[in-house]
Amino acid sequence: MKTDSKCVLAKVAPEENGENRGMATMICPVCGKRIRETNLERYFEDNSENTIELCTDCREEFEGDNDLQIDSDTLDGDIYGKLLNFASTITIDEESQGINDLTAPVVATALGGDAWQSGGGIWLIVKRTTDGRVVTISPEVVNEYSNEEAFEEDRPKISLVMS
């Protein structure tokens, strides 16, 4: 994802190489959902090169939050500014690849676990099972530990690298 003061742009999903431009899988820079590039919505600020890309769900959420209907891909400065603020405020943090202080608690709640910052701005989802195992999910790896002690000593039983 590229973000600067006036643009929020999607990036090509990691497994894609970009050769199939137009049919590639993209990552919505607002919610992190994977979508086909042909389904990515692009909005432009009137009389500028500024661009915001996002998925339909995020656009609909923006419309609902602001009680308005976007009916053109070229927006006047006021509407573009509001959309830019919306996209920039909840944009998925590229460095944490979608798990950050905003998303970790939501994902943890959905999985019945806890959000935990392991240091250096790295967020994990920690799920403790009824049989005593501990499973952690980070942007880089999913680890299963036999028990709490193995978790505390960082001795995973099974690891799945997310690359």
In order of 11, 19, 29, 48, 108, the CA distances from 141 in angstroms are 21, 28, 21, 41, 16
Instruction: Take residue 75 and report the two structure tokens written for it.
Output: 């927006």
Q: At residue 22, does pLDDT exceed 60?
A: no
What CA–CA distance (Å, rounded) separates 2 from 90? Answer: 14
Please, which pLDDT band fits residue 95 given cuts at 50, 70 and 90? very low
DSSP state of 109: H
Contact status, residue 37 vs residue 21, Cβ threshold 8 Å: yes
Quote the pLDDT of residue 3. 41
Burial pattern 94-114, b for ≥16 Cβ within 10 A else e, equals eebebbbebbbeeebeeeebe
Quote the pLDDT of residue 132. 96
User: Region 95-102: what's the mean pLDDT?
Assistant: 62
Which residues are CB-neighbours of 130 under 8 A, at least 6 positions away?
none
Q: At residue 129, does pLDDT exceed 90?
A: yes
Q: What pTM was estimated for this model as a whole?
A: 0.53
Quote the pLDDT of residue 103. 78
> Tokens 């999903």, residue?
13
